[in-house]
Amino acid sequence: QVQLVESGGGSVEAGGSLRLSCTISTYTYEYFDYCMGWFRQAPGKEREGVAVLTYNGRAAYAEDVAGRFTVSKGNAKNSLFLQMTSLKPEDTAMYYCAADRLASSVCLRMIPRDLDYWGQGTQVTVSS
């Protein structure tokens, strides 16, 4: 069973920064097979992709966060991060970490229904 736990959310003013962390509990050798990424869902809106990393290290970003957010895997195994800078009020949402064994082409589409394993989410609130 794969489990993901997010942390690092909070409240910041516009222009500020936050770093989200995700720990995935699985066998270490399986970790390297996974597409991992960050998704978010604002009230009244559908869940959307923010940033993903394929199993072989390719990254993709949503257009409205490219250049402001950076997704990375940690030196410690089984960890994923999202560094968020220049935050805007429209970035306010519940942020979820997700993972699954996916081909790169599928992973890079950042479609939530393609991934089976999800964390509980961490709230990010950006005030103007």
pLDDT digits (tens, 9 = 90+) for 28-75: 556 667 899 999 999 999 999 999 999 889 999 999 999 999 999 886
Alpha-carbon distance values, 42 to 1, 29, 47, 123 (Å): 28, 34, 7, 10
Looking at residue 27, what is its pLDDT?
Answer: 67
Structure tokens at 9: 């959310």
The SS3 assignment for 12 reads: strand
Q: pLDDT band for 112, please (50, 70, 90 cuts).
A: very high
The full length of the chain comes to 128
Structure tokens at 88: 């805007």
Provide Rg for the chain, Cα atoms. Answer: 14
Average pLDDT over every residue of 3-10: 95
Average pLDDT, the chain: 93
Average pLDDT over every residue of 94-106: 95
The SS3 assignment for 46 reads: coil
Looking at residue 42, what is its pLDDT?
Answer: 97
CB 19 within 8 A of CB 112: no
Looking at residue 44, what is its pLDDT?
Answer: 95
What percent of the chain is predicted at pLDDT more than 90?
A: 81
